Amino acid sequence: MYHYDPETALEELQEDAVLPNPVHIRDMIVRARLAPDQALELNRKFQTYLEAFGDAQEIAKLILQQLGKPESPATAG
């Protein structure tokens, strides 16, 4: 399962442009057995990722909501 394997998640990101779920990223950080300073740095980067991921989800939701609306007669081809 990619969400517990950073290398596979990175390959999928490069191949499919799919962002890993933040929960899976967090689990990878927890399982990595990092030194305290390294864990702190990755946690800071993770917080930035989490915020950006949430922003991207919100934007995608707005776009998909607009695309999912039935066409009005004025815009129908």
pLDDT given for residue 72 in this prediction: 64
6 is a domain residue:
yes
Query: Which burial class, exposed, middle or buried, applies to 40 when counting CB atoms under 10 A from its CB (0-12, 13-18, 19+)?
Result: exposed
Q: Is residue 32 part of a domain?
A: yes
- Total structural domains within the chain: 1
Q: Summarize the confidence of residues 23-52 as an average pLDDT.
A: 94
- Asked if residue 77 belongs to a domain, the reply is no
65 has pLDDT over 80: yes
Q: Give the number of C-alpha atoms closer than 13 A to the C-alpha of residue 73, restricted to the C-beta side.
A: 0
According to DSSP, residue 69 is labeled S
Amino acid identity at 62: L
Local structure of residue 2 (DSSP, 8 states): G
Tokens for 30, please give them: 């927890």
What proportion of the chain, given as a percentage, has pLDDT over 90? Answer: 44
Give residue 32's pLDDT band: very low, low, confident or very high (50, 70, 90).
very high
Domain range holding 52?
2-68
